[in-house]
Amino acid sequence: MGSFTNAGPRVSMPDRPNEGSEKPMSALQTKIKVSGLNFYYGTHQTLHHIDLEIPENRVTALIGPSGCGKSTFLRTLNRMYEAVRNSRAEGVVLLDNEDLLQMDVTELRRKVGMVFQRPNPFPKTIFENVAYGLRLNGSGGRARLAAEVEASLRRAALWDEVKDYLQKPAWTLSGGQQQRLCIARALAVKPDVLLLDEPCSALDPITTGKIEELLFELKNTCTIVIVTHNMQQAARVADYTGFLLLGKLIEFDESPTIFRKPARKETEDYITGRFG
C-alpha cells in the first residue's frame, strides 16, 4: 500500500469530466440515508453507529483498510447478511423514505442490486443469465424479454461482443466479460441502486478501465456504491468517498476533498499510506 512516495503525500486527482456542472451536495437528492447503523456478528460488533447520506445518481466509494467493515456495510444495504446466522443490524436505513431494514427483502433486492468481487455467472447461457432476474416476476413474453436482455447488455457495454453468441454458456466468456455479464444481469431488473463489492479486484487493468467507464454512464440512471481497496480507483471514479476504520465512518465528503484536503488525521494517514 505505501507506494506513494514518488507521487508526493497526496493522491493526484485526474481531470474529471463535467466537473463544473455537478451540483453542490446540498442540492442533491439523498437516495439512501443511514442513521445510527450498528451491526453485530453474534456478540461481536463490527459496525459502530454509522451515519451517512448517499446521494442519488452519483458514485459513492467506500475505502478503508482490510477488516474495516466496508464490505459488511455494503451488504447491509441489500441485507445479504441475513444468510449468515447470528448476524443482525440495528438502526434505520431509509431508501427513498422507506426503512430498508424492515421492508420485504425480495422487493428490496429488486431495487438494490449487487455485483460481487469475483464474477459468478450462473451455469446457463449468456441470455439466460441476464434474463434470470426478469423471469422471477414473470417475463411478459419472449419479445419483451429479448428486448430487455439486449438493453441490459448494452448498458453493460457487452452487447457488441456477445450479440451473436447469446446461446453460448456464460463460462466461455473471459473474466472481464463475465463480470460485465454480471453487471448486465444486475441491471436487468432496473435497480435504483447498484452495489459493487471490489468488482475489479480479480480483473486486469484494461478491463478495469472499461468497467470504470461504465460506471460514469450508469450513474445517470442509477445510484452507485462501490467498495474498493484501490484508492486511485476511488479517486478516478467516485464523486463522494467515505473512509471507514474499525467499523466506524471516519469521514465522508466529496472525493476531491478526501484525497486532497482530508479533515481527519486518520484519513490523511490512510491516504498517504502510513498504515493499511
CB 188, min distance to other proteins, A: 8
Which residue, among 213, 208, 210, 247, has the nearest Cα to 228 in the 3D structure? 208
> Among residues 33, 110, 229, 274, which is the contact residue for other proteins, using CB under 8 A?
110
| 84 part of the interface to other proteins, by CB under 8 A | no
Residue recorded with cell 475505502: 63
| 118 part of the interface to other proteins, by CB under 8 A | yes
- Residues binding other proteins: what is the number (CB under 8 A)? 30
Nearer to other proteins, 182 or 231 (CB): 182
| 85 part of the interface to other proteins, by CB under 8 A | yes
CB 25, min distance to other proteins, A: 29
| 63 part of the interface to other proteins, by CB under 8 A | no
Using alpha carbons only, give the angle 94, 233, 15 rounded to the nearest 5 degrees: 105
Please give the residues from 119 up to 138 whose contact with other proteins meets the rule CB under 8 A.
Answer: 120-124, 132-133, 136-138
Please give the residues from 196 up to 255 whose contact with other proteins meets the rule CB under 8 A.
Answer: none
CB under 8 A: which stretch of 35-43, 47-55, 87-95, 102-110 binds other proteins? 102-110
CB 44 within 8 Å of CB 103? no
CB 39, min distance to other proteins, A: 18
> Among residues 47, 93, 95, 114, which is the contact residue for other proteins, using CB under 8 A?
114
Nearer to other proteins, 149 or 245 (CB): 149
Nearer to other proteins, 27 or 83 (CB): 83
Please give the residues from 166 up to 195 whose contact with other proteins meets the rule CB under 8 A.
Answer: 171, 175, 182, 185-186, 189
> Among residues 4, 40, 41, 116, which is the contact residue for other proteins, using CB under 8 A?
116
Residues comprising the chain, all counted:
276
| 80 part of the interface to other proteins, by CB under 8 A | yes
| 106 part of the interface to other proteins, by CB under 8 A | yes
Reduce the secondary structure of the chain to three states and give it as a string. Answer: CCCCCCCCCCCCCCCCCCHHHCCCHHHCCEEEEEEEEEEEECCEEEEEEEEEEEECCCEEEEECCCCCCHHHHHHHHCCHHHHCCCEEEEEEEEECCEECCCCCHHHHHHHEEEECCCCCCCCCEHHHHHHHHHHHCCCCCHHHHHHHHHHHHHHCCCHHHHCCCCCCEHHHCCHHHHHHHHHHHHHCCCCCEEEEECCCCCCCHHHHHHHHHHHHHHCCCCEEEEECCCHHHHHHHCCEEEEEECCEEEEEEEHHHHHHCCCCHHHHHHHCCCCC
Interacting residue ranges for other proteins, rule: CB under 8 A: 78, 80, 83, 85, 104, 106-110, 113-114, 116, 118, 120-124, 132-133, 136-138, 171, 175, 182, 185-186, 189
